[in-house]
Amino acid sequence: MFKASLIAAACAVFAVSAAHAEAPVFKPQTLVLKNIPKAAGPAVSIFNGKDLNDWSGWLGYPDPSRTYNAGDAKPIGAGGVGSIFTVVTEDGAPALRVSGETWGSLVHKGDFRNYHLRLEYKWSGKRHAPRLNEPENNGLLYHTHGNPGAVWGTWSRSVEFEIMTGSVGMVVPVGNGLEVDSSVAIDPSIIDPKQRFMAGAPLGSAVGNTALWNIENNSNADKPVGEWNTLDLYVFANHAVHVVNGVPVMEVWGLCDKATETSVCEPLIHGAIQLQSEGAETFFRNITLEPINSLPAIEVVK
């Protein structure tokens, strides 16, 4: 076991080093969104402000600290609507509340492709173990597919638009074999694998549940705890742009899912919308989706 662990650690270090061989060092950029596509059809609300009948809940482990080392523990399974996930009134308007106490997922029953999704979220400041002393955390997961709880007994396979204080817009492939490509630079100031999106940088990748597990946002554009933030997610086929409070912070393409080691990495071009519960009370509102026929462009301000 010890020898296997050493080999795995060595392979992880090698994977990160190899990926970084051609990548430049990150330099701060000012990015703007250009050529924003017009809606190709009417917008629809996927949160009706009354109930969660269009959503399905799934809960992970009774003790969230077991999520990544479950052993013989079993997830709670289907549920959470009416307890972890509820409809409330916040700031005088309907909101979808995620308590964060038990980790899990709320998946919309629709299947979507080629869209612009907009939502507003805010933190209450209330956090739960085991993340009492860590940044508020949640996620907007798209191209969701497969069985509930397939990833760490808690989430469905998907691509994550991270909603975490200081990292909103980061991309995380959720599930073994999920892969995304982007323009990647190396930022020595952040945690491994130290990958950060930089427009115009060489091609880099993130692969679910590997040493190359994420690509950090280009910049932090989120507002302080207690204030509403607006997220815009533009998705066309297996290509997406993440926008935080009007600031583009991530572009990814080549989204694909290699479910087994012998299979082809199948392009991800559609799927459901998934919201996480991951240790912080979160409010969502005004969740709308409209069809588009193209993606906006990200431009570097010189």
Kindly provide the residue ranges of all beta strands, DSSP E only, lying in 130-278, ordered along the sequence: 137-145, 157-164, 171-174, 178-186, 195-197, 203-207, 229-236, 239-244, 247-257, 266-267, 272-277
How far does the chain reach from its first CA to its final CA, in angstroms? 52
Q: What is the mean pLDDT of residues 18-27?
A: 80
Both tokens of 15, joined, read 């994977």
| pLDDT score for 6 | 34
Average the pLDDT over 79-107 and give the result. Answer: 98
Cβ neighbours of 3 (radius 10 Å): 7
Residue 284 amino acid letter: F
How much is the average pLDDT of 94-98?
Answer: 98
Label residues 279-298 b or e (16+ Cβ within 10 Å = b).
bbbbbbbbbebbbbeebbeb
By C-alpha distance, which of 210, 149, 204 is closest to 177? 210
Mapping DSSP to helix (H, G, I), strand (E, B) and coil, where does residue 4 land?
helix
Q: Is 252 exposed, middle or buried (0-12, 13-18, 19+ CB in 10 A)?
A: buried
Q: What residue type is 119 in one-letter code? A: L
pLDDT given at position 16: 59
- Reported as a pLDDT band with limits 50, 70 and 90, residue 22 is confident
pLDDT in tens, 1-13: 333 333 344 445 4
Q: What is the pLDDT of residues 61-86, one digit of tens each?
A: 999 999 999 999 999 999 999 999 99
The yes-or-no verdict on residue 133 having pLDDT over 90 is yes
Q: If phi over 0 gives left and psi between -120 and 50 gives alpha, with beta otherwise, what is residue 111?
A: beta
pLDDT score at 19:
59
What are 220-276's pLDDT values in tens digits? Answer: 999 999 999 999 999 999 999 999 999 999 999 999 999 777 779 999 999 999 999
What's the pLDDT score for residue 18? 56
SS3 state at 223: coil
Structure tokens at 275: 């919201």
Q: What was the pLDDT predicted at 2?
A: 32
What lies within 8 Å, CB to CB, of 250 at 6+ separation is: 161, 169, 170, 171, 182, 197, 215, 217, 218, 241, 242
What are the C-alpha distances in Å from 136 to residues 118, 163, 279? Answer: 20, 8, 7
The answer on pLDDT for 44 being more than 70 is: yes
Q: Which residue has the higher pLDDT, 4 or 140?
A: 140
pLDDT tens for each residue of 177-229? 999 999 999 999 999 999 999 999 999 999 999 999 999 999 999 999 999 99
Residue type, 52: L
Q: Residue 24: left if φ>0, alpha if ψ -120 to 50, beta else—which one? A: beta
Q: Over the range 221-243, which residues count as b (16 or more CB within 10 Å of their CB) and which as e?
A: bbeeeeebbebbbbbbebbbbbb
